[in-house]
Structure 1
């Protein structure tokens, strides 16, 4: 049996409905978000998890998918400002177009809409969204703290990417179980799946930032090094005989010509890229294994495939 097409068209309609505002600048930012599209990974996870739990249609599924996407989008609006980013998905970032105040307040507007959507759902979802939002903030601040203090470690890195990506994908995968009141073992399975898949997802992003090329990635490589971020392959180099040189490059934010190229050479020499790919595959396997408590279904197979194929993503 083939899995029916996910109702992403209805999701897009509902997203636009929720983002409507009588204030033109907020309306324009909302329209940019809706028009930008993207892979819609998180809304897709909401629908897939519902189907895997046996709910082939739920009256609040679109609102739940929109709430997850809005939490993600609000964090991106704030991230772009913090990172001083010029573009997002090939478009000029909101704060470059409209200024800092408009961008930040539009992100806050999205968060307020999340609360409105959650008000009609089980209370446990409000807590889950609140805890996720707090973890996102902690991860973002920790990332700056680690770079400022040069506190590079595997533990800090995992905590950063948990907040940056893991907790939101965990929420997308597990929120349907909270909506349905599913058994605790199914809720935990989807939480584990989402977190491990999210960690693998971010590790792959971090790997591509250093191991890929600009033509494939669509942006300059080495961005993390220039921000003083020690990602998984770089952490492997900090445990190598060339640790002192790599630490110097990190601490000067790869400011000298050839810094990024040098780290790429060292990463290849020390098999840091291979070690990162192995860790991504391990996390993906953990995600797939967690789903074994759910009954077999096309939706579960699709969830498993998303995690399994993560290591093959090229951008």
Structure 2
């Protein structure tokens, strides 16, 4: 399992993270294993494809702010990654995606019904792993699952007429993405021996980091190529999802944007029109406006770390914010 590059990270810390991620990978393979060969293959499909492993890395890194990695930290990291993997199986069914992590999506490979059931199986496996960490960890997992589902439901629905669309969307991201990343930090800090104040700071930081992560992903859905991102460009546009750049572009009053506003009014069923919308949005000021907001949230996340001692793990967490935000540059 590779470790995402964190700029200027302390060498000894990097070595510990590499060793920790190897432990996470071994444990992940152990709990995903199944007696039925087909179930084992389907459950391991996205795990074997790799991915950024961002959430377990954050669990390990937050543990380093305390006393460092132990078996409970590793299991917590595995539980977080299993929860994330399960959500991907469900997301791809809802999005009718064709690519995930550079490989054929599970829904395309195994069908929607099997993909949903494999997602459920992985959620159950995650709960089993977390249950061994104690009742408080189970409660945190349950609250996170509720927020994940709430965010996903709200993401599928338009905001109320009197709601600000951008504020509504940012709230969706806090639930849909930020909640699990915050939980990754809570687990790492808790089982890594941090005090309650440090744990709370890291959890708040991580939720904002999660919003930055998703905002950057939304920008990449427009700006990147499939070969670079491992996902089909314009997936959000095809589904009619109102991401931040889309919301900003919809709000344009420039007559020259009429065609783009027309395309962004709802789901785009035609592949040529998806490509047209991607091309128009890539050069629209809405992209820069969304990038600036992404940087603003990144600054807020970084500022939360100011009260923690200046040590290698904290410096790495600050650098991690930059690495996440800069993906959309």
TM-score (norm: length of structure 2): 0.85
Q: Mapping of 1:68-79 within 5 angstroms? A: 68-79=80-91
User: Which residue does 1:274 correspond to in 2?
Assistant: 288
What SS does structure 2 have at the residue aligned with 1:146? coil
The CA deviation at 1:26 is 1.8
Structural RMSD (CA): 2.8
Q: Once structures 1 and 2 are overlaid, which stretch shifts more, 212-221 or 112-121?
A: 212-221
Deviations 1:232-265 (CA, angstroms, capped at 9, x unpaired): 1222223321487655323342346456535754
CA contact (8 A) 2:212 2:297 kept: yes
Within a 5 Å distance, the mapping from 1:238-253 to structure 2 comes to 238-242=250-254, 246-253=260-267
Determine which of 29, 41, 44 is the counterpart of 2:57.
Answer: 44
Whole-Å Cα distance in 2 between the matches of residues 57 and 220 of structure 1? 36
Among 86, 93, 97, which residue is 1:81 paired with? Answer: 93
Change (3 A) 1:231 1:48: same
* Aligned residue in 2 for 1:204: 216
Residue of structure 1 in register with 2:26 after alignment: 13
Residues 1:261 and 2:276 are matched in the alignment: yes
> Which deviates more, 220-229 or 15-24?
220-229
Q: Where does 1:113-124 land on structure 2 (aligned, <5 Å)?
A: 113-124=125-136
What is the alpha-carbon distance in structure 2 between the residues aligned to residue 9 and residue 266 of structure 1?
40
Give the conservation status (yes or no) of the 8 Å contact 2:102–2:229.
no
Q: Classify 1:183/1:5 alpha carbon distance in 2 versus 1 (closer, same or farther; 3 Å).
A: closer
CA displacement at 1:131 relative to structure 2: 1.1
Q: What secondary structure, in the 3-state scheme, does the structure 2 residue paired with 1:190 have?
A: helix
Which residue in the other structure is 2:315 paired with? 301
Q: Provide the C-alpha distance between the structure 2 equivalents of 1:196 and 1:30, rounded to a whole number of angstroms.
A: 30
Residue 304 of structure 2 is aligned to residue 290 of structure 1: yes
**How many residues are matched?**
313
After the TM superposition, which residues 82-231 of structure 1 pair with which residues of structure 2 at under 5 Å, given as runs?
82-146=94-158, 153-180=165-192, 182-214=194-226, 216-231=228-243
The farther-off stretch of 98-107 and 300-309 is 98-107
Deviation per CA, 1:94-121, whole angstroms, max 9, x where unpaired?
Answer: 2333333332222222122222222221
Are the structure 2 counterparts of residues 222 and 111 from structure 1 closer, same or farther at C-alpha, using a change threshold of 3 Å? closer
Matched-pair contact (CA < 8 Å) for 2:73–2:187: no
| 1:133 CA displacement | 1.0
Cα-to-partner distance string for 1:49-99 (whole Å, 9 max, x where unaligned): 00012x223231211110000000111111111222222112222233333
The CA distance in 2 between the partners of 1:34 and 1:232, in whole Å, is 29
CA-CA distance at 1:314 after TM superposition = 5.5
CA distance in structure 1 between the aligned counterparts of 2:301 and 2:84, rounded to whole angstroms: 21
- The verdict on how the C-alpha distance between 1:155 and 1:127 changes in structure 2, with shifts beyond 3 A counting, is same
Segments of 5+ residues of structure 2 without an aligned counterpart are 1-9
Say yes or no: does 1:61 pair with 2:61.
no
List 4+ stretches of structure 1 deviating above 6 A.
none
